[in-house]
Structure 1
Amino acid sequence: MKMYWILLSASIRARMQYKINFLLSAVANALIMVTEYILLAAILLRFDDIMGWRIHEIGVLYGISSASVSIYRLLAPEIHNFEKYMIDGEFDSLLIRPVSPLTLLITRNVDFSRLGGLTQGLLILLISCRGLSLDFSSLMLLAFYIPIAILSGCLISFALGLMTATLAFWTQRIKDFQAFTLYAPFNAANYPISIYPGWLKAVFFTVLPVGFMNYLPATYLLGKGGEHIYLWISPVFAVIFFLVSLKFWQFGIRFYHSTGS
Structure 2
Amino acid sequence: HLNRLARVIAGLALLIVSLRMQGVALGVMDLAMLVLAILGGILFYMGAFLLAAGVAFFTIASVEWVNILTNGSYQALKVPPQYLPPWLRGAITFVFPILAYAYYPASAICGWGEPYVLGFAALPAGAAFFALCYAFWRFGVRHYKSTGS
Task: State the TM-score, normalizing by the size of structure 2.
Answer: 0.84
CA distance in 2, matches of 1:187, 1:154: 18
SS at structure 1 position matched to 2:58? helix
Give CA-to-partner distance per residue, 1:191-212, whole Å, 9 cap, x none.
Answer: 5333433332122113322111
Q: Which moved more, 1:186-195 or 1:201-210?
A: 186-195
Q: Distance in 2 between matches of 1:190 and 1:158?
A: 22
Q: Tell me the residue number matched to 1:146.
A: 34
Question: How many residue pairs end up in the alignment?
Answer: 148
Deviation at 1:133, TM superposition (A): 2.7
Among all aligned residue pairs of Structure 1 and Structure 2, give the percentage whose two residues are the same amino acid.
29
Q: Is the 8 A contact 1:193 1:201 kept in 2?
A: yes
> Alignment partner for residue 6 of structure 2, among 116, 134, 157?
116
- Whole-Å separation in 2 of the counterparts to 1:191 and 1:142: 23
Looking at structure 2, the residues matched to 143 and 169 of structure 1 have their Cα atoms a distance apart, in angstroms, of 40
Tell me which structure has the larger Cα radius of gyration: 1
Structure 1, residues 124-182: CA drift from partner, whole Å, max 9, x if none?
A: 11111111233x4xx22433422221111100111122112210111032123233233
Q: Which residue of 1 aligns with 2:69?
A: 181
TM-score, with length taken from structure 1 = 0.51
2:14 is paired with a residue whose SS is helix
Name the counterpart of 2:140: 252
Which residue is 2:54 aligned to? 166
Question: Which has the larger displacement, 155-164 or 143-152?
Answer: 143-152
User: Structure 2: 5+ residue runs without aligned partners?
Assistant: none
Letter in 1 for 2:95: V
- Segments of 5+ residues of structure 1 without an aligned counterpart are 1-21, 27-113
Alignment CA distance shift 1:185-1:162 (3 Å): same
Bigger drift between 197-206 and 151-160 goes to 197-206
Asked which structure has the greater RCO (Cα within 8 Å, sep 6+), the reply is: 2
Instruction: Kindly indicate whether the alpha-carbon contact (under 8 Å) linking 1:186 and 1:210 is maintained by their aligned counterparts in 2.
Output: no
Distance 1:115 1:194, change over 3 A: farther
> Which amino acid in 1 is paired with 2:143?
F
State the partner residue of 2:45.
157
In structure 2, distance between residues paired with 1:126 and 1:191? 22
Determine if contact 1:216/1:230 at 8 Å carries over to the other structure. yes
